[in-house]
Amino acid sequence: MVRAARISSPSNAPAGLKRELTNPSLSPWMVNKKAKQAPGQVASSHRKFPSICQKHTELQQLRGHEIMVAENGLSQSECDAIINFAEVTKFQHQSSRGATHNEAFRDNERIALQDQDIATELWERTGLAELLKAHQIGNSSAKGLNANIRLYKYMPGQRFGRHIDESVQLGNGRQTRYTLLIYLCGHGSQSLISKASSQQPRLQGGATIFYDDRGRVAASVQPRSGMMLLHLHGNDCLEHEAAPVRAGVKYILRSDVIYGP
């Protein structure tokens, strides 16, 4: 039986607003190196995550510090290697119970890893550590990535409805403040799996769309291979959605940026 991701709306949130909980302790798909494996999970010590070469890139602000992107955080070959890693590992379907349970509509495939080594390598080698080294939110500065690493797969017709990503409190004044999405294949391109079949169409659709407090589109980000998308979450998160994939397959790597004193 497929279990829905836990999504809830805190008491001080506007009515109808859905939040995605990213606390590892709340995730039914989470696994660490000592945990028993289950479908859609992998203990990272059993299968090596692809290595990443050092990158140097630049941040582009789409809506001030609320939404930012950086190109080429991963190379095409690195994206393909991570896709292959995920396909060998096996995804698990993820859904939700819908609006009647105050949950955003969700229909995609998912793998979750709990691995600090992967988080550290992504933080340092994609260039994020360099990009955010001087960035502060109040008295907090960027410390690294959440060890909760997720890999998502969206096939034709699959999507994630409007929602807000929750912040994770990690203790000692540390908490996640940004969602990180790294697109592993791009709009109009073919993933490694797609290239293996001449009949598999190129990716169409699947944009990440943000809305302002009046429900108007604030930004729309089309997937591009290796591009990193950062957006504030928690109390500062804009409502957003993963638009339906019309053709092809969309793959994403997801984590969160940790801030603290």
pLDDT at 34: 33
**Claim: this prediction has a pTM higher than 0.95:** no
Please provide the average confidence, as pLDDT, over all residues in the chain: 84
Query: What's the CA gap between 123 and 117, in Å, rounded?
Result: 10
Q: Are strands 159-165 and 136-137 parallel, antiparallel or unpaired?
A: unpaired
Q: Which of 104, 106, 105 is nearest to 16 (CA)?
A: 104
Quote the Cα angle for 32-80-63, to 5°.
80
Q: What is the pLDDT of residues 230-248, one digit of tens each?
A: 999 999 999 999 999 999 9
Helices (H), 157-246: 192-195
Instruction: Return the structure tokens found at 49.
Output: 């995550």
Question: CA separation (Å) from 85 to 111, 118, 233?
Answer: 11, 13, 28
Domains belonging to the chain, first-starting first, are 57-260 (2.60.120.620)
Q: What is the pLDDT of residues 23-76, one digit of tens each?
A: 433 333 333 333 333 444 544 444 699 999 999 999 999 999 999 999 999 999
